Amino acid sequence: MTKNTISVAYFKHPYAEFVIGTYQDQLCLCDFRYRKMRATVDNRLKKQLKAEFIEQSNPLIEATITQLEEYFLGQRSEFDLPLLLVGTDFQQSVWRALTQVKYGNTASYLDLAQAINNEGAVRAVGTANGANALAIIVPCHRIIGRHGELVGYGGGLPLKKRLLELEQNLFLSPPA
């Protein structure tokens, strides 16, 4: 019997270096290659999908790279990729709520907790946000502190600031 596999490839961009992974034609991983929680996120994916990482590209990984490049160039505000959210039901509800925070906007952890009808779960929402395996695509960088301050981010606060600034430009002028 062949073991399930998660195809992974690495993508180095001037903003950050990513590890991108797919499982059965769905994107399950698009995360910072060197983040502190790298092993935790990878192990969760492997365990829940009962799969191992195999370094190999495929059309979905290539499409993900193309869409990330468009995003970083300010040419894409939404991603059009089949996503596989791998986590608990609670984590998945938080990640789905994250996808509703639109390009150029921000929200607080309390806003997210309210969006999933669990206002008392602000800390748990923050923990789920930090466990997101689909950085940029499931936009956890759009979550800020209650008073507008930048708070934790797997890619680091300087990158979070840079992403939010990128999104504030809101497609000012399309390329000629």
For residue 131, CA distances in Å to 74, 75, 82, 85, 107 come to: 26, 27, 19, 11, 17
What residues are annotated to the active site? 140
Long-range contacts of 123-127 (CB under 8 A, 24+ apart): 124/90, 125/94, 126/152
Ramachandran angles phi, psi of 89, nearest 5°: -60, -40
